[in-house]
Homo-oligomer: A and B are copies of this chain.
Amino acid sequence: MRRFIPALAFGLSIVSLPAGADAPKPATPNDIIAAAPAKDWVRIAPSDLMVMDLAPDASGKARRVVIQLMPAPFSQGWVGNIRKLVAARWFDGIAVVRAQDNYVVQWGDPDGETEGKAKALPAGLGTVTEAKYVTHQSMHAVCDRDVCPQAPVAIDATFQQISADPYAGSIGFGSGWPFAFEEGTGEAWPVHCYGMVGVGRNTSPDTGTGAELYTVIGQAPRQLDRNIALVGRVIAGMEHLSTLPRGTGDLGFYKTPQERTPIASVRLGSDVSGLPAYEYLSTESASFAAYVDKRANRKDDFYIQPAGGVDVCNVPVPIREVSR
């Protein structure tokens, strides 16, 4: 489970309240998460998880990264491609090829741009030709290639205007994900927060296939919103990507093959035995609303000045690991 406690000092847990204090401790975001009833937690279907095992580290320790795929109606052309790539075991044996500090870690076929050496893509998979980086509030099937394999997310009813945003008219949460939203056009789109997974591509109008992916390891590069497809987010094992040595080539690419981290295998969660179950705190729940409010207005033993607002990417949706 992710930790949200932001205390910054040593030994904070052993700090005593003043003797005789009987006022209840003010609630923190973590208190709210801990108190959320079971009904506020939503199980993520294992078939919506992508389990990426990197090669073990230098000391032989396993490095597993778990990615939740983006729900319909967003980015489904690319998500469909990725499901085909996983089914074909295409990702097995490729590598992390880039790590640029405060930006992205990226993985793909190291020979992808070398004619005659690029790994062949599975049949039935191609470049997503229409750049459908946005969809509409009304949720009328605006899915890539008109394929909506799942029930559309109900963002129209649940968007919350939690704060001013530099990049969009409104921001909020739906079905467990952060989104941006423009009332004028009725458009909605997923946002580039820390840990989000997107589709590497070349210059426009290329939109990428999904065979080359990256995740955000720094300040949210929101300028990429509506310019690149977001297809998921890392929900466990993020540290195995964020701590990788930064590449010293242009854009943080590794200069030598030896610097790359091989990817041993990528499987859907439904094909991995012994995988824990994962749940997110329903973004439609009262618990989540209280959590957002507390993220925006910290006032407790540590915080003396509540901010009165919060960035959409500074409200990580709580996700927990549970025994099955």
A interface residues with partner B (beta carbon < 8 Å): 3, 5-15, 58, 97, 100-104, 106, 108, 112-113, 131, 133, 163-167, 193-195, 198, 200-206, 208, 212, 214, 217-228, 238-239, 242-246, 250-253, 295-296, 298, 301-305, 307-311, 313-314, 316
Closest chain B residue to A171 by CB distance? B166
Q: Are B218 and A251 in contact (CB under 8 A)?
A: no
Q: Are A6 and B242 in contact (CB under 8 A)?
A: no
Complex alpha-carbon distance, A235 and B121, angstroms:
42
A224 CB, nearest partner CB in chain B, Å? 7
Given contacts A165-B164, A304-B131, A311-B166, contact A101 B242 (CB under 8 A): yes
Q: Are A214 and B8 in contact (CB under 8 A)?
A: yes
Q: Secondary structure of the A side of the interface?
A: loop
Complex alpha-carbon distance, A227 and B303, angstroms:
6
Hey, which chain B residues are within 8 Å of A218, CB to CB? 194, 217-219
A15 CB, nearest partner CB in chain B, Å? 6
A39 CB, nearest partner CB in chain B, Å? 28
Given contacts A9-B212, A202-B9, A251-B5, contact A219 B220 (CB under 8 A): yes
- 8 Å CB contact of A200 from B10, B103, B303, B310: B10
Q: Are B246 and A245 in contact (CB under 8 A)?
A: no
Q: Are B163 and A307 in contact (CB under 8 A)?
A: no
Complex alpha-carbon distance, A9 and B214, angstroms:
10
- 8 Å CB contact of A225 from B104, B131, B222, B307: B307
Q: Are B108 and A295 in contact (CB under 8 A)?
A: no
Closest chain B residue to A205 by CB distance? B304
Hey, which chain B residues are within 8 Å of A316, CB to CB? 102
Q: Are B219 and A194 in contact (CB under 8 A)?
A: yes
Q: Are B311 and A238 in contact (CB under 8 A)?
A: no
A285 CB, nearest partner CB in chain B, Å? 22
A163 CB, nearest partner CB in chain B, Å? 4
Complex alpha-carbon distance, A218 and B314, angstroms:
10
Q: Are A15 and B203 in contact (CB under 8 A)?
A: yes
A164 CB, nearest partner CB in chain B, Å? 4
A319 CB, nearest partner CB in chain B, Å? 13
Hey, which chain B residues are within 8 Å of A200, CB to CB? 8-10
6 additional contacts, CB 8 Å, given A12-B202, A193-B219, A222-B310? A3-B100, A7-B251, A10-B113, A166-B310, A167-B310, A225-B305
Given contacts A102-B238, A203-B301, A304-B227, contact A220 B314 (CB under 8 A): yes
Complex alpha-carbon distance, A307 and B246, angstroms:
28
Closest chain B residue to A306 by CB distance? B223
Complex alpha-carbon distance, A310 and B224, angstroms:
11
- 8 Å CB contact of A245 from B100, B113, B243: B243
Q: Are B242 and A295 in contact (CB under 8 A)?
A: no
Hey, which chain B residues are within 8 Å of A203, CB to CB? 9, 12, 15, 301-302
Q: Are A6 and B221 in contact (CB under 8 A)?
A: yes
